[in-house]
Structure 1
Amino acid sequence: MGKQMTEMLKGTLEGIVLALLAEQPAYGYEITTRIRDHGFTDIAEGTIYALLVRIEQKKLVDVEKVPSEKGPPRKVYSLNAQGRQELGEFWKTWDFLRTHIERLNNTNEEN
């Protein structure tokens, strides 16, 4: 992945994770797998775990420890009301940026 893609992804990764958790609760490795299934193949597991710590500290998710067949209990993250509100703001911001960037791109294509 190029540097520009990496930098842009950093700014949107929290919203991506919140969107995945809005679909269904998940634990860290499962979230990483789902992100990769959506085409973000170069995302490191460590990046996701660090982000999960941040969104937990921001109280955007509820966390439940669920027994695991292999090792210690897993932390399962589910989006709470505050997380849904944050996700709504993310989508509003995304729509604004997408619309204005597409306008810039269309203007440049016309010239």
Structure 2
Amino acid sequence: MPSQTNPDDRVTLLQGTLDLLILKTLVLGACHGQGIARSILRQSEEAFFVDHGSLYLALQRLEDKKWISAKWGVSENNRKARFYSLTAKGRQQLAEKTNEWQRLTRAMGLILNGGPGTEEV
């Protein structure tokens, strides 16, 4: 993992990406919001910084869709925190959204790397 990434080098998340990243993070087990944000930052080698406003809106949206559930607990700092868990419906969505993103990234790769039917720029 890089020691420090320039904040200007961070990537802006496309709409829908944050939901997928949260679902993927929760596959590993229940986690509170700050832990989810840190995990995404760490796993992306500091490319994806999730601000709190976006994170908690996404968590609420996912909870409303019944893709995640939440319950109160105590964090490692001994503070009260909501811990989020992936539901069965969330696991199904994770599989579907992962397949969509894999198809999308393959198609983008074909175009950007000059795949069949494309001409070099």
When normalised by structure 2's length, the TM-score is 0.76
Structure 2 unmatched runs, 5+: 1-6
Shift of residue 58 of structure 1? 0.6
Distance 1:51 1:64 in 2: 16
Distance 1:87 1:104 in 2: 26
Match status 1:101 vs 2:93 = no
**In the superposition, relative to structure 1, how do residues 94 and 41 fare at CA in structure 2: closer, same or farther (>3 Å)?**
closer
Shift of residue 42 of structure 1? 3.0
Alignment of 1:20-99 (within 5 A): 20-38=25-43, 39-67=46-74, 69-70=78-79, 73-99=80-106
Partner of 1:12: 17
Residues 37 and 49 in structure 2, CA contact (< 8 A), matched pair in contact too: no
Percent identity over paired residues: 28
* Deviating 4+ runs (over 6 angstroms): none
Greater share of helix:
1
**In the superposition, relative to structure 1, how do residues 17 and 7 fare at CA in structure 2: closer, same or farther (>3 Å)?**
closer
When normalised by structure 1's length, the TM-score is 0.82
Q: Deviations 1:63-90 (Å, cap 9, x if unpaired)?
A: 12114523xx321101010000000011
Alpha-carbon RMSD across the aligned residues, in angstroms, is: 2.1
Residues 66 and 90 in structure 2, CA contact (< 8 A), matched pair in contact too: yes
Q: Secondary structure at 2:50's aligned position in 1?
A: coil
